Structure 1
Amino acid sequence: MIIVYLGPSLPVEKARQILEADYRPPISREDLKKALKDRAKIIGIIDGVFYNKTAVAHKEIIEVMKKGVIVVGGSSMGALRASELDTFGMIGAGRIYECYKSGRICADDEVAVTFNPVTGEQMSEPLVNIRYQLKAAQDSGIITAEERDSLLKTCTGMFYPDRKYPEILKRATEKGIISTERSDRLGDFIRDNPLNLKAEDAIRTLEKIKEIIERSKK
């Protein structure tokens, strides 16, 4: 059995088009015990809880791997835990995992978001996506490198549930980081060219699991 813990990073409907699996809500402490009881052979960790419930522990993942279960992580909580546990055998996938592993990013709140517990809809923007989006805006000439750095500094100082583009742009104009005109232009760019690194890495994680399954058949 393949079990994947998935939440706001990618719609389950889209995930099923890539990999057929038992998709479960974002992982929290003790969830892996049930996965073992359900005889999981491969576990994919994409999304997980951070603050409202107790996060999945490193020891839990290590114990599961000791029992012969393959654990693959990427995108969100999975990327964070994979960067910490790949030396123990957890498999990491995607650019966010690589950023954590290299030390380019360190904080848990780089991937933290708020989401609707009923619909799973994402309600705030993760800092990794904001970095990705602002770099694209810089590359397109919408903002300068200095403005990007100042915007990121503002975002880093915000509580993660408040990281929403309208609020970010509002604070940036109030602080004089960018003009109202440039703020409007940046808002239009974000709306017309939405980027989602967590979604891209969630897909990479599912593809990695699929590769593992295909290799095991040979």
Structure 2
Amino acid sequence: MAGGTIGRRALRADRSCSPRCAGAWCFRREAVCAGVDADAIGMSDVIIFCGPTLAGVGLPSAVRRQPPAALGDMLAAAPKVPSTLILIDGLFGRQRSPWHKEILTLLSAGHRVVGAASMGALRACELHQFGMIGVGVVFRAYRRGVLIDDGDVAVAHAPAELGWRQLSVAMVDVLTALGRTRHAGAVDHATACVIYDRARAMSFKDRSWSKMLDGLPISGELVRMLAAAPSTKQADALRAVEFALHDSRWPLPPPAPPSTRWERFLP
């Protein structure tokens, strides 16, 4: 299938770009945005919507933490003055996810909206031409067509009462872990493709390293390397926080106010 072909291509290291590149993951640019000086607008709060991607990770005091966003949450949390909102994690399935119209409404009101890592990367890819800012590896991979499946960033997680702890491995983290171990020469291409195929065949709720590696003739060292590989999603989320706090660029003038008929669907 198309998704499998694209994913396998990402396992081959591209040394023509940078020593830090692995496969289709390019580390040269951390953000895509256009800008005017935020000082002219008066940046206020930084609000981040996150859950499993940053579970257990401390954030600067200047960042106000909100749980994963459902439909209407971003609009409800936005201050009256232009501010920065970072979308990392969003709810889906039983609850409606943040709609594009909601983000367009925020942009039209003068807010800066940054997306990365998970649902935020998806929305930024879809809305970057309207002023939403995308940050990080996952955003760039979706924008370039290296990733095409929304489910590649999905994970199972614990409820809020248990700190949103992540319970499964996102496909994007599988890809980057395999890319890095291939680049280091720790796993051959054929074995990496077997692991990839197993991961792709699993539901996002069931995907774990123990299941992906079960019964394979690989070393304990490789098992440890894969299981301990840094999360690309988490790294992207932290890049987005760093960008929001220290980059003064603001999107180009907001688009014309969108239709508000969608607001009747808000909870």
TM-score (ref. length: structure 2): 0.71
Q: Deviations over 1:122-170 (max 9, x none)?
A: 1001010111111222223332112212221221111001111111112
Do the aligned partners of residues 162 and 40 (structure 1) sit closer, same or farther apart at CA in structure 2, a change above 3 Å counting? farther
Query: In the alignment, what sits opposite 2:9?
Result: none
Query: In the alignment, what sits opposite 2:146?
Result: 104
Query: In the alignment, what sits opposite 1:210?
Result: 245
* CA positional deviation for 1:189: 2.2
- Distance in 2 (CA, whole Å) between partners of 1:137 and 1:106 is 23
Query: In the alignment, what sits opposite 2:226?
Result: 190
Larger helix proportion, structure 1 or 2? 1
* CA positional deviation for 1:72: 0.5
1:9/1:202 contact within 8 Å kept: yes
2:78/2:85 contact within 8 Å kept: no
Deviates more, 1:204-213 or 1:83-92: 204-213
1:4/1:43 contact within 8 Å kept: yes
Q: Deviations over 1:20-42 (max 9, x none)?
A: 22110011111123123665611
Q: Deviations over 1:159-205 (max 9, x none)?
A: 001111111112xx3xxxx42xx1644312224x4221011101110
The CA RMSD over aligned residues, in Å, is 1.9
Long gaps (5+) in structure 1: none
Query: In the alignment, what sits opposite 1:127?
Result: 171
Q: Secondary structure at the match of 2:47?
A: strand
Q: What amino acid does structure 2 have at the position aligned with 1:123?
A: L
* CA positional deviation for 1:209: 0.5
Deviates more, 1:120-129 or 1:6-15: 6-15
1:6/1:26 contact within 8 Å kept: yes
1:75 to 103, 117, 122: 117
1:109/1:160 contact within 8 Å kept: yes
Using CA pairs below 8 Å that are at least 6 residues apart, which structure has the higher relative contact order?
Answer: 2
* CA positional deviation for 1:76: 0.8
Identity of aligned residues (%): 29
- Distance in 2 (CA, whole Å) between partners of 1:29 and 1:146 is 42
Long gaps (5+) in structure 2: 1-44, 251-267
Aligned positions, number = 204
Aligned counterparts, 1:1-218, within 5 A: 1-11=45-55, 13-16=57-60, 20-36=62-78, 41-117=83-159, 118=161, 119-170=163-214, 173=215, 178-179=216-217, 182=218, 184-191=220-227, 193-213=228-248
